[in-house]
């Protein structure tokens, strides 16, 4: 064997370039190509992702983040009450009245396991080391649905901290067009599956059934006036429909209150009957929907006619580009299926071992407005967590690596911190919020 043959065996058969390395190199090249006619920008690098505006089916602690992050639906929906849907919902109310859930004891938790998916944007941040000064523009972003398996433990009597644990799945592009854009940009790395979000819920997360009337007219009035703690949000019929979903998911309510919810929904204008439909995991149920024409989305609730339990829900777009991307009407932008619900004695019961953490859910807002772009994150210190995101340039790419003064607010009684640029509690009051943490 000659020396060249021997050399050929040396360090032979090493693994090929890792896919993420290849993708990052290609993204660098595509950025260079894209800007070859313009002044060069720093190469694209570290992927980041953020969750704009929507997080469907993130009940309990996250419901507030979901609600407030949506554009106002003041003029949404203005249909009439349909006799068919009213009949189906009155039937559901009768069923609900006969299904008394197991009454929880003091200190117990409601455990819920669900599968959901929410709209998220994947994109690129300019590579940190090369971006010494502004402007460091983020390049294009693409919309994906990130599925997750979510488990929550919520304290019934509000005396204990709860927990939410979600494990993400593989992101899926919302449309062929979004995927094509991502491919054209060199298929940059996507968020990996298997990311775990594990956060504590401060006590008081559970809707307090004892204050809820069993008379549907009275209950509807309280909901529409946004007078129920934990069921707050902007005005509008679409919002009311969303709040009804909030009351049915990840909650414990006595049978007469649940019956009242179905009865009042039967009287709501604009609610459509979808008939027998499949929920997001393929179970058959009865579907009702509300279309928010102003926002361009439709929200479906699917319940089991035999038990009046909420099986799942789905949100889809009804016109192109309500969220800034083009996709055919009917394209889903979020869904949830409620798989299991039971009373347990401790947080973490039913959960895989090894996880923990007591972070807050935090919405970082780009402007002092509830309708500005939002990044939803978790962290022990809401202001420090958002300041970090500002310094990364993810909130405002023109700022460079700095954070403005930030102030943390919340809906009264909500454990979700909402962090805005600005200083002083006046910012919170101006937005109809209270300083966080309360007191």
Partner 1 sequence: MDHRALDSDAISASATTPAEFAAIFDRHFDAVHAYLQRRIGRDLADELSAEAFLLAFDGRARYDLSRPDARPWLFGIATNLLHRHRRHELRELRAYARSATDPILDAFDGVDARIDASSTRRKLIDALAGVPAEELDALLLLAWADFSYTEIAEALAIPIGTVRSRLSRARARIRAALEVESTPTQRQPIGDEGGQR
- Positions touching partner 1 (CB under 8 A) are 2-4, 6-11, 14-18, 21-22, 24-26, 28-30, 32-34, 36-37, 43, 186
Considering only CA atoms, which of 224, 232, 264, 294 is closest in space to residue 74?
294
Cβ of residue 180: shortest distance to partner 1, in angstroms?
A: 14
Cβ nearer to partner 1, comparing 36 with 78:
36
| Cβ closest to partner 1, residue 34 vs residue 91 | 34
CB of 28 to partner 1, least distance (A): 5
Of the two residues 17 and 103, which places its CB atom closer to partner 1 in the complex? 17
Please state the closest distance from residue 352 (CB atom) to partner 1, in A: 25
> What are the C-alpha distances in Å from 2 to residues 9, 10, 12, 13?
11, 13, 16, 20
Give CA–CA dist 144/175, Å, rounded.
8
Closest contact distance (angstroms) between CB of 194 and partner 1 is 19
| Residue 8 vs 429, nearer CB to partner 1 | 8
Cβ-based neighbours of 409, under 8 Å, separated by 6 or more = 417, 418, 419, 420, 425, 427, 428, 431, 433, 434, 435, 436
Distance (Å, whole) CA 415 – CA 55: 16
The side-by-side arrangement of strands in the sheet containing 406-410 is 374-379, 360-365, 417-421, 406-410, 434-435
Residue 14 or residue 225: which is nearer to partner 1 going by CB?
A: 14
Comparing CB distances to partner 1, the nearer of 21 and 180 is: 21
Residue with tokens 């990044």: 375
Minimum gap (Å) between residue 400 Cβ and partner 1:
24
What's the Cα-to-Cα distance from 202 to each of 153, 216, 349, rounded to whole Å? 11, 30, 18
Q: How far is the CB of 37 from partner 1 (least distance, A)?
A: 8
Measured CA to CA in angstroms, residue 6 lies from 15, 114, 434 at distances of 20, 58, 74
Q: Which is nearer to partner 1, 17 or 84 (CB)?
A: 17
Q: Is 335 exposed, middle or buried (0-12, 13-18, 19+ CB in 10 A)?
A: buried
Nearer Cβ to partner 1, position 45 or 296? 45
Q: How far is the CB of 130 from partner 1 (least distance, A)?
A: 12
User: Least Å distance between CB 325 and partner 1?
Assistant: 22
Under DSSP, is residue 437 helix (H, G, I), strand (E, B) or coil?
coil
Nearest residue (CB) to partner 1, 7 versus 81? 7
Q: Is the dihedral of CA 206, 211, 215, 221 positive or negative?
A: negative
329 vs 13: CA distance, rounded Å: 50
Helix H or strand E segment including 429: helix 425-430
Least distance (Å) between residue 134 CB and partner 1: 23
d(CA 303, CA 408): 37
User: Cβ-count burial of 148 within 10 angstroms (0-12 exposed, 13-18 middle, 19+ buried)?
Assistant: buried
Among left, alpha and beta (phi > 0; psi -120 to 50; other), residue 187 is: left
């Amino acid at each position: 064997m000659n020396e060249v043959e021997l050399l050929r065996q040396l360090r032979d058969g090493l693994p090929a370039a890792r896919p993420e390395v290849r993708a990052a190199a290609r993204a660098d090249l595509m950025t260079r190509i894209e800007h070859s006619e313009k002044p060069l920008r720093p190469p694209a690098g570290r992927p980041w992702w953020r969750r704009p505006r929507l997080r469907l089916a993130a009940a309990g602690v996250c419901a507030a983040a979901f609600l407030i992050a949506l554009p106002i639906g003041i003029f949404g929906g203005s249909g009439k009450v349909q006799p068919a849907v009213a009949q189906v919902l009155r039937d559901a109310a009768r069923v609900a009245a006969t299904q008394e859930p197991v009454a929880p004891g003091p200190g117990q938790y409601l455990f819920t396991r669900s599968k959901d998916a929410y709209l998220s944007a994947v994109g690129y941040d300019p590579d940190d080391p090369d971006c010494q000064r502004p402007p460091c523009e983020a390049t294009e972003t693409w919309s994906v649905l990130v599925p997750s398996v979510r488990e929550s433990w919520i304290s019934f009597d509000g005396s204990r901290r709860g927990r939410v644990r979600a494990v993400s799945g593989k992101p899926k592009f919302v449309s062929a067009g979004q995927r094509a854009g991502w491919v054209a940009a060199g298929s940059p790395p996507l968020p990996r599956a298997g990311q775990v979000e594990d956060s504590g819920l401060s006590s008081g997360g559970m809707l307090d059934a004892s204050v809820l009337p069993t008379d549907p007219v009275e209950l509807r009035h309280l909901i529409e006036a946004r007078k129920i703690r934990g069921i707050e949000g902007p005005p509008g019929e679409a919002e009311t429909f969303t709040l009804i979903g909030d009351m049915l998911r990840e909650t414990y309510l006595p049978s007469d209150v649940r019956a009242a919810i179905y009865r009042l929904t039967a009287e709501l204008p604009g609610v459509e009957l979808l008939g027998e439909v499949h929920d997001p995991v393929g179970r058959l149920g009865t579907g009702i929907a509300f279309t928010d024409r102003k926002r361009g989305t439709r929200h479906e609730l699917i319940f089991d006619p035999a038990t009046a339990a909420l099986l799942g829900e789905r949100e889809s777009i009804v016109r192109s580009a309500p969220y800034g991307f083009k996709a055919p009407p009917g394209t889903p932008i979020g869904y949830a299926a409620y798989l299991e619900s039971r009373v347990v004695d401790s947080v973490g019961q039913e959960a895989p071992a090894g996880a923990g953490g007591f972070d807050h859910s935090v919405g970082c807002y780009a402007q002092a407005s509830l309708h500005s772009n939002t990044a939803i994150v978790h962290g022990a210190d809401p202001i420090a967590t958002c300041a970090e995101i500002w310094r990364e340039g993810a909130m405002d790419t023109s700022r460079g690596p700095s954070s403005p003064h930030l102030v943390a607010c919340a809906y009264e009684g909500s454990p979700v911190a909402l962090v805005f640029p600005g200083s002083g509690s006046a910012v919170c009051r101006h937005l109809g919020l209270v300083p966080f943490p309360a007191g």
